[in-house]
Structure 1
């Protein structure tokens, strides 16, 4: 009798995390839809540029607009997730992004560049979905497996590949307006599925701290700034290339790559990062996030240097871009595996929001820089790519100076 009495408290203390993988997969599907909407403008940029007579600078600004709100909005959404939970916030973000998708459809239909900028700015709401999923996924797994959890959720970035691959084909097949109506409909359906199928982890407890003090508290943590810098390189680079790669390929290789071909290559780029992200999380759980981050940053620096040499379009170019994406994916998984063990549990959502915002901002500026540094005489983006090499090298040095962090093994 005494042995059964001793066992009960231990069993009661164990949180029931069964069904966690199913919940994280559902969150990943919701993120996929959000990323598809967030990246709805980039795959059709050639249509906008032709129909509206846009120059390099105007195209770069158009591509950067959704990234801005998608970045800064993550700070607020991450803190709100700590308070209201993933189920409510996933539903809210998906539904709130539907009107901007419809506005993009209207802007393209009437050929209004300024309306497209405004609707692209609002479309950034869809990009905040990432800040919902990290604390939600983390709460469903024990600390030693959160790199895996965040890696699985991070695969929702496949929405970028879906957008790059499917959006131009849908626009050709069913029409521009119908494509955007379809995206909006998928978002509504996904919001309904989330509302009725998602539940919070038994470990999760709502935080009732006010938004501004919560964000301020996250900003006071040194780990927030360290991880923000690293994530601005790995995720920012991914976002920048996911939005700008079609433009880059069609400009540098105009005789070899059309809009659909550029979309296919961009989809492969995004898919490589998506596959590498959970691998980065698992490897970070095993070997420590610092080692994996260093490998990631070294890979980014090396591949950016090769791309800057502007090799002929073909197998070499394709392999280099896929290796670059894989390096970025490894880094994304490693950085968030670094955040978890280093952050107080009640601040995970807020810190996640700030770090994710830094990643988004890291993707906001490169398209503008690439547009501003483009050299028409030589048809080259080399200067912009050299800046990526230098910033990546600086991040490599910073990461090497930081202390590693691992979650305790169960």
Structure 2
């Protein structure tokens, strides 16, 4: 009789591993997202253009995106316990400095190093996937993806702490939370009983379109989530004149909906297939992008709210569906594949805010940015339909 994929003691530790990884991911993402909720304050105090302000928001995103590639490989080689702990310890320093720098260039440097926290996603995926059998990985990775809630914590918590106790306190609190989480994770976490073999990136890249299509789908689903989470506080303040706290609260609602939808997308992918979930996600995202394009000329709070909340649900479910596919397509190279696909998703969050800033500065409207999202959704929908038609048999694992 075949041995079970996980021994009983491994199954017993899987839930603890998932909980620890999700909390660590949420803390990392809250540090990664510290700048965006206060962007409008920095813009007013430093007299910045829309483009420079949104570039400031996007700097942590680009470094976090690019670092997902080496950190995914490091996780394959050294295990998630060491790598996640190192990220949290490192992130505490720029989080603390964030409370004390006041110049534009100082904030850019701090944001650059805060980007390290954004690489945490590529560490947790192979760590969590190694604890769960394939038929449960979609849901487990969806739960892990709920660490996106860190974006909502920053969106709501950062303006509130800054308002009542000042930015130095905000930086110190963020640093202390990262340090405590690092210690807890180092002490309680264990690497999975089924670790992936160290994999050369060349082996994964040679998978070609099978890899690149996942990167494209994540570029739009996760990139769309990050871009909107970064951009929404400023957009709401520009459109409706909300205070930073009110705009942050509404942006936090967007992040919460997207976060809760992610495990739902993974759970549905386990049952009806990831490509089916992605078809629905891209249709829904495209419809909302079209609606926001029309609303940009005359924004009204009720339809704008409904559009953004349903957009969050579709993007979140799409996130969960894509990362059901990653360990399935690359079962022996999950860390390396996650690094590449995750980097694409992070870069998807880097470019849209900058484009939105340029569009706003030159055309005094955000509509063209939503047109771009609509076009990407149409292309991704065509890719997913082709995937559904072309599926036959199991994928060939990519190994090192």
Same fold, TM-score > 0.5, yes or no: yes
Paired residues of 1:288 and 1:404 also in contact (CA < 8 A): no
Task: Pick from 90, 96, 109 the counterpart of residue 96 of structure 1.
Answer: 90
The reply on whether 1:279 has 2:270 as its aligned counterpart is no
Residue 323 of structure 2 corresponds to 336
In structure 2, do the counterparts of structure 1 residues 284 and 161 end up closer, same or farther at CA, with 3 Å as the change threshold?
Answer: same
Alignment of 1:195-234 (within 5 A): 195-205=186-196, 207-208=197-198, 214-222=200-208, 223-234=210-221
User: Structure 2 CA distance, aligned partners of 1:94 and 1:191?
Assistant: 5
What is the alpha-carbon root mean square deviation over aligned residues? 1.9
Residue 314 of structure 2 corresponds to 327
Question: 5+ residue gaps in structure 2?
Answer: 396-400
In structure 2, do the counterparts of structure 1 residues 11 and 325 end up closer, same or farther at CA, with 3 Å as the change threshold?
Answer: closer
User: Structure 2 CA distance, aligned partners of 1:315 and 1:263?
Assistant: 17
User: Structure 1 CA distance, aligned partners of 2:266 and 2:41?
Assistant: 38
1:80-128 CA distances to partner (integer Å, 9 max, x unpaired)?
Answer: 0001111111101111111221232222xxx210111111111100000
User: Structure 1 CA distance, aligned partners of 2:37 and 2:136?
Assistant: 35
Task: Pick from 25, 31, 41 the counterpart of residue 31 of structure 1.
Answer: 25
The reply on whether 1:183 has 2:174 as its aligned counterpart is yes
The reply on whether 1:247 has 2:234 as its aligned counterpart is yes
Residue 4 of structure 1 corresponds to none
The reply on whether 1:87 has 2:81 as its aligned counterpart is yes
Paired residues of 1:289 and 1:405 also in contact (CA < 8 A): no
Residue 3 of structure 1 corresponds to none
The reply on whether 1:77 has 2:62 as its aligned counterpart is no
In structure 2, do the counterparts of structure 1 residues 13 and 230 end up closer, same or farther at CA, with 3 Å as the change threshold?
Answer: closer
| Deviation at residue 200 of structure 1 after TM alignment | 1.3
User: Structure 2 CA distance, aligned partners of 1:343 and 1:10?
Assistant: 22
Task: Pick from 370, 374, 378 the counterpart of residue 356 of structure 2.
Answer: 370
Alignment of 1:127-142 (within 5 A): 127-142=118-133
Task: Pick from 300, 309, 314 the counterpart of residue 313 of structure 1.
Answer: 300
1:208-234 CA distances to partner (integer Å, 9 max, x unpaired)?
Answer: 45xxxx122222113221100000000
Paired residues of 1:290 and 1:404 also in contact (CA < 8 A): no
Paired residues of 2:96 and 2:171 also in contact (CA < 8 A): yes
TM-score under structure 2 length normalisation: 0.93
User: Structure 2 CA distance, aligned partners of 1:397 and 1:11?
Assistant: 39
User: Structure 2 CA distance, aligned partners of 1:363 and 1:12?
Assistant: 36
In structure 2, do the counterparts of structure 1 residues 36 and 406 end up closer, same or farther at CA, with 3 Å as the change threshold?
Answer: farther
In structure 2, do the counterparts of structure 1 residues 267 and 406 end up closer, same or farther at CA, with 3 Å as the change threshold?
Answer: farther
Alignment of 1:136-155 (within 5 A): 136-155=127-146
Paired residues of 1:140 and 1:203 also in contact (CA < 8 A): yes
| Deviation at residue 253 of structure 1 after TM alignment | 2.1
Paired residues of 1:252 and 1:380 also in contact (CA < 8 A): no
| Deviation at residue 252 of structure 1 after TM alignment | 2.0
Question: Would you say how many aligned residue pairs link Structure 1 and Structure 2?
Answer: 389
Q: Please state whether the residue corresponding to 1:201 is helix, strand or coil.
A: coil
In structure 2, do the counterparts of structure 1 residues 217 and 84 end up closer, same or farther at CA, with 3 Å as the change threshold?
Answer: same
User: Structure 2 CA distance, aligned partners of 1:169 and 1:330?
Assistant: 29
The reply on whether 1:348 has 2:334 as its aligned counterpart is yes
Alignment of 1:6-17 (within 5 A): 10=3, 14=7, 16-17=10-11
In structure 2, do the counterparts of structure 1 residues 13 and 123 end up closer, same or farther at CA, with 3 Å as the change threshold?
Answer: closer
| Deviation at residue 143 of structure 1 after TM alignment | 0.6
User: Structure 1 CA distance, aligned partners of 2:394 and 2:299?
Assistant: 45
In structure 2, do the counterparts of structure 1 residues 336 and 383 end up closer, same or farther at CA, with 3 Å as the change threshold?
Answer: same
Paired residues of 1:20 and 1:141 also in contact (CA < 8 A): yes
User: Structure 2 CA distance, aligned partners of 1:368 and 1:289?
Assistant: 31
Question: 5+ residue gaps in structure 1?
Answer: 1-6
User: Structure 1 CA distance, aligned partners of 2:145 and 2:174?
Assistant: 21
| Deviation at residue 168 of structure 1 after TM alignment | 0.4
Paired residues of 2:218 and 2:319 also in contact (CA < 8 A): yes
Paired residues of 1:144 and 1:407 also in contact (CA < 8 A): no
1:9-29 CA distances to partner (integer Å, 9 max, x unpaired)?
Answer: 747984632220121011000
